[in-house]
Structure 1
Amino acid sequence: ILYLTPDGRYASDDSGRGVDYRCISYKKTIIEWLGQCVGIAVHRPLVRETINQYINYLKQLTGQDMSTIVQSEIINLLSKAENIESVLQIPTYIEAVKDAIMTKVIQSVALECGVKGELRTDLKEREFYFYKESWKEGTSIYFGLDKGKVYYAIKTKESLDGKAKPEIYLEHLFEEGIDAFDPYGYGYICEYDWLTNNHIWVEMADGSFAKKYIIPSVKKILEFVECDEMLKSKLEERNENV
C-alpha cells in the first residue's frame, strides 16, 4: 500500500496502525515521476505541456516554486555568521506568528459577517470558528483540516468529541453527509491545508484567504439559517421559562 501525502508524512495511528505501507509524496515521488513522463511525451506537445503545468502546480503547493538561484541566495544570506543567531530563533516564534495571522483572519471575518470568532489552539492543526451570541453554547460555523484539505461545518458542543446525534443533512450547504462529528454535514472550501503549504499563510496575511474562502462560506450559512426557522430554532438557545 502506498500512502500518498503532500510531504510524505506517516499516517495517523488510527488509520495506519498494523498496516504495512510505504510513504510517498507529491513533493518528491509524484513530481519526479511526472518529470519522467514529460520525457516520454516529448512527441505529444499537448500532453507534455499539460504534465508540465501540473508539475508547476505541485511545486507551488509544496513550496518548491522558487528558483534555485533565489534559494541559493537566501541560504547564503542566512548562513552568514552575523545572521545565525537570529535564524536559529525563528522556530521559537513561528507558532506565535501563525496564531497572530489567524487571529487577524478571524477578526476580519467576524467584523464583515457580524459574528463572534475564536481560534482553537489546543490542537496541533489549529482550527477556528464563528458563532452568534443567540446560538447554543458550543454551536458554531467551524473551519478545520481533514484529509489534507480545509473543511467547514456547523458544529455542536457534542460533535467536537464525535458524540453528536446526527441532525438534518443540509445538502444545500454541504456536499458530505452527516455523522457524529458533523451532525448537519460538511464541505471543503479548498484543496490544500495550512499544515503543509506555506503559501496559504501568505494568503491569510494579505486577507485574500478570508475574502475568497471564509467570508463567503460564513455568509452562505448565516443566510440559510435565517431563512430556515427549524434550523434556526435548533441552533439558538431557548429559555422554556420565558
Structure 2
Amino acid sequence: MNKKVKFVDWGLLDYQEAWAQQEVIFNSTIAVKTANRTNGTTEETPNYLVFCEHPHVYTLGKSGHPENLLLDEQGLEEKHATYYKINRGGDITYHGPGQLVGYPILDLDNFFTDIHLFLRTLEEAVILTLQDYGIPAGRYPGFTGVWLDADNEKARKICAMGVRCSRWVTMHGFAFNVNANLEYFGHIVPCGIDDKDVTSMQRELGYEVNINEVKEILKKHIANLFHMELF
C-alpha cells in the first residue's frame, strides 16, 4: 500500500478549473487500478491532498434539490457568484474566499476501504484543528461535517463535506469556514438543512484567522490520522 501523498496548494482557483483538475487526477488513478487488474501488474496508485480557496460559488450535489438555491441568475450576478451541479454526494453548499477547501484524491486501497470511516477521519482532523484554537467541536448525529454545540438549540455548522468515490478512489472533500463571508450562506438552504446556523472560525474567535497557519495544522492532523507520508 502506498502511503505517500503529494500535497498541493492551488491557492485561489476558479471552481470549474479545480473540478477539471480533480477529474484528471481521479481518472488517471482509476486507469492505473484498471490496468493493474487487467494486466496483473502492481503499479502503485498515487494519492493527493489538495488545498485551495474558490471565488464565490454555489455547488449542488447529486442528491440535492435546486430549490435550495434562493437566488436566480440575476441574483447570482449581483453577488458575483457562479452555480454548478456536480457529481459529489450531498445537497447545496457555498465556497468562497476565506474558506479552506480540501480535496483528498486518495486510493483508499492504500489506507482503508470504508467510506464512512474516511468521512469520520476527515471530520476528526477538523475537530482536532479547532481544538488547537480552543474551539470545542464535534459531530451532529445523522449529518456529515463538523458542528459546534451540536447537542443543543445553538447547533451551527463550521465544516461541510461531500465526496465522490469510485473503485475506492475519492474526490471532492470538505469546506472549512475559516474567514468565510457567512452572508453568502443566507442565499441557500445549506446542505438542505433549514433550521441550523452556519459559522466560521473568525466568527467564533472574534478575529481574522491566519488561514495559512490553519492549513499547516490541519495538514498535520490529516497526515497523522491517515498515517500518510506527505511530500
Of structures 1 and 2, the larger Rg is shown by 1
Same fold flag (TM > 0.5): no
In the superposition, the TM-score normalised over structure 2's length comes to: 0.27
In the superposition, the TM-score normalised over structure 1's length comes to: 0.26
Higher relative contact order (CA 8 A, sep 6+): 2
Task: Give the number of the structure whose residues are more often helix, by fraction.
Answer: 1
Task: Give the number of the structure whose residues are more often strand, by fraction.
Answer: 2
